[in-house]
Structure 1
Amino acid sequence: MQTYRLICHPETPALKVRSVDAYVVRNRDNYLHFRWRIKGTGALIVPEFVGPGREDGLWQTTCFELFLGAPDNDSYHEFNFSPSGRWAAYDFTGYREGMAERAMVAPPQTQERRHAHILTFDMQLRASVLPPRPLRLGLTAVIEEEGGVKSYWAIAYPPGAPDFHAPTCFAATLPPPEQT
């Protein structure tokens, strides 16, 4: 399991959230399992569960994001997941260029759990939706708290405003998926 402590962007401080950690867990049965854990959820806004389905604009409230980029070119994939059960998937040919909906043979599976002031969000993604090679990895979160306060969390940032699409945010490597 790979563990990443996400950093709150300094221009978007959180209200009560103390930390956001992200985990990559390699599962059997052709799935990759990702987990985000938020500590300090006293003011957290969590979208109500409405069921699985594709939806744009999830980043406008609390959501979790996964960015995967090819190591040898500028193309990348963006996946967004909401506690509402909604998800989105896109392909890009370059930095914020050539955006197209990514075809998904099987939708991601998500689950949210709360305990005290901790929220855990799990997502399983079928490994076959990923290219069979190492990828540049960005794990991020948009956190909304009471009063419309939004904080942006990532492994790393470029200078300036938060921008999860920037190559700097792809600060880790995801080994090729194990397919059985």
Structure 2
Amino acid sequence: MHATPLRRHPSTPDDIVTGITVEVDSLTTDLLVLYFRVTGNIDRLQLPAQAASKFQDELWKHTCLEAFLAFADSDVYYEFNFSPSSQWAVYRFDGYREGMTPLHPAPPPRVIVRRREGELDFDVDIHLGAIPGLTADDIKDRELRMAVSAVMESDQGRKSYWALAHPQGKPDFHHRDGFALVLDGGLAGDPV
């Protein structure tokens, strides 16, 4: 698949980040691979120090990349957060912002971050079979939709919100209008 641009929410100006793209790939029907690229004046982003790759709550409060997965025929959805520190978080929701449960999949998501001049690259591997409720048969037989988003925090504490698609109104990554990518049984994604 090709790199798909995320769009900045118009209510959140940003003079630091010039673009964010995501490429969605899969090596197997169980392994979802996300390649993120953030471009701009990376030195002016608020970036946490490298840390052990482990579950960490509230990553979304600072610079963070996110993915959301939901079956089209269910209110249940999953949120994945990835920090430049290499920490991660996975949550299951029973419905729109309701019934949040932290998950600790084994194997956990793998987050690799590389920093270059004017660029921050993330490679993220998610073993979907390790997430309760995401069985290989369900992934193969049901329509799986995905939202991809990002929170970028400047060195001055200002935040901008980026997504493949934004619903009307304020930034809201949990809104189903943002689930703009349809993954087929082989996990290849196409925007809707």
TM-score by length of 1: 0.92
Cα distance in 1 for partners of 2:61, 2:69 equals 21
Shift of 1:2: 4.7
Whether 2:157 is the aligned partner of 1:148: answer: yes
Deviates further, 58-67 or 101-110: 101-110
Which residue does the alignment assign to 1:139? 148
Runs of 4+ with >4 A deviation: none
Shift of 1:29: 8.8
Question: Does the 8 Å CA contact 2:86/2:113 hold for their aligned counterparts?
Answer: no
SS of equivalent residue, structure 1 residue 157: coil
Could you report, residue by residue, the CA deviation over 1:62-89 in whole angstroms, capped at 9, with x for unpaired residues?
A: 1111100111121111011112121111
Cα distance in 1 for partners of 2:73, 2:22 equals 25
Question: Does the 8 Å CA contact 1:52/1:86 hold for their aligned counterparts?
Answer: yes
Cα distance in 2 for partners of 1:44, 1:5 equals 19
Which residue does the alignment assign to 2:183? 174
Q: What letter matches 1:74 in structure 2? A: D
Paired residues, number:
178
How big is the alpha-carbon RMSD for the aligned residues of Structure 1 and Structure 2? 1.6
Q: 1:29 to 1:165 in 2, by over 3 A?
A: closer
Which residue does the alignment assign to 2:108? 107
Question: Does the 8 Å CA contact 1:15/1:149 hold for their aligned counterparts?
Answer: no
Cα distance in 2 for partners of 1:168, 1:76 equals 13
Identify unmatched segments of 5+ residues in structure 2.
188-192
Q: What letter matches 2:177 in structure 1? A: T
Question: Does the 8 Å CA contact 1:15/1:145 hold for their aligned counterparts?
Answer: no
Q: Percent identity?
A: 39
Cα distance in 2 for partners of 1:30, 1:100 equals 22
Question: Does the 8 Å CA contact 2:28/2:186 hold for their aligned counterparts?
Answer: no
Question: Does the 8 Å CA contact 1:113/1:119 hold for their aligned counterparts?
Answer: yes
Which residue does the alignment assign to 2:70? 69
Cα distance in 2 for partners of 1:122, 1:25 equals 11
Shift of 1:33: 1.0
Cα distance in 1 for partners of 2:162, 2:55 equals 23
Deviates further, 80-89 or 27-36: 27-36
